[in-house]
Amino acid sequence: MCPKHTELFLLLALLYSVSKFEFTNINCTSLDKTFDDFEYCYLKSVNRSYKYLSVKVNLFKTPIAKVKVRGTLFKRFNGYKPFMFNVTVDACRFLNNTKSSPIAAYLLQHDLIMDKLEIGFVNHQVTKVLPFPEGAYLLETHWIAYDIDRAVVKVYGTLS
């Protein structure tokens, strides 16, 4: 795995690694509504302990041949300040270097849907990767197609 891909994996793993992590908000913004638009983007609270994220983005100019994702992790210290990582990954190269090339081809030609991503599942997948301080966090991702920012997704959470 390339160093940049390792950093992105660690960034995601760090955000979701502690079992007491809780989603607090999600915000999705399309920066070019002729290219993409969010059909839905929400955090649903079923009860005090069960929350999940759901996102669907409609892509209007498919297939997409050049995509990058920039992820930055922020921690709240009198406002959100950059914390640990600011990584940009060439998504096409990343997907094409895996053994899932049919999935890569599919992802770049259709709307993207993430339904009911719940924190219990994420915690189960990547737990106890690194010690992580308690506090409020923000994972901000910029989705860049053809070197133009197309969308911003912000996922907020707390670690207690």
CATH of the domain at 141: 2.70.220
**Domain total for the chain?**
1
Q: Helix (H, G, I), strand (E, B), or coil: what is residue 61?
A: coil
Q: How big is the chain by its Cα radius of gyration, in Å? A: 16
- The pLDDT tens digits for 60-86 are 887 777 888 898 989 888 888 888 778
Q: What is the mean pLDDT of the chain?
A: 75
Look up the domain containing 41 and give its range: 3-159
Q: Which of 58-62, 95-99, 150-154 is the most confident on average?
A: 150-154
What is residue 57's three-state secondary structure?
strand
Residue 4 corresponds to which amino acid? K
Are 139 and 15 a contacting pair, CB within 8 Å? yes
For residue 71 the two structure tokens come to 């992820």
pLDDT grade for 18, boundaries at 50, 70 and 90: very low
Q: What is the pLDDT of residue 127?
A: 41
Is 148 exposed, middle or buried (CB count within 10 Å of its CB: 0-12, 13-18, 19+)?
A: exposed
pLDDT at 97: 62
Indicate the helix (H) or strand (E) that contains 3: helix 3-16
For residue 122, give every residue at least 6 positions away whose Cβ sits within 8 Å of its Cβ, in sequence order, or none: 16, 21
With a cut of 60, say whether residue 130 has pLDDT above it.
no
Position 43 pLDDT exceeds 80? yes
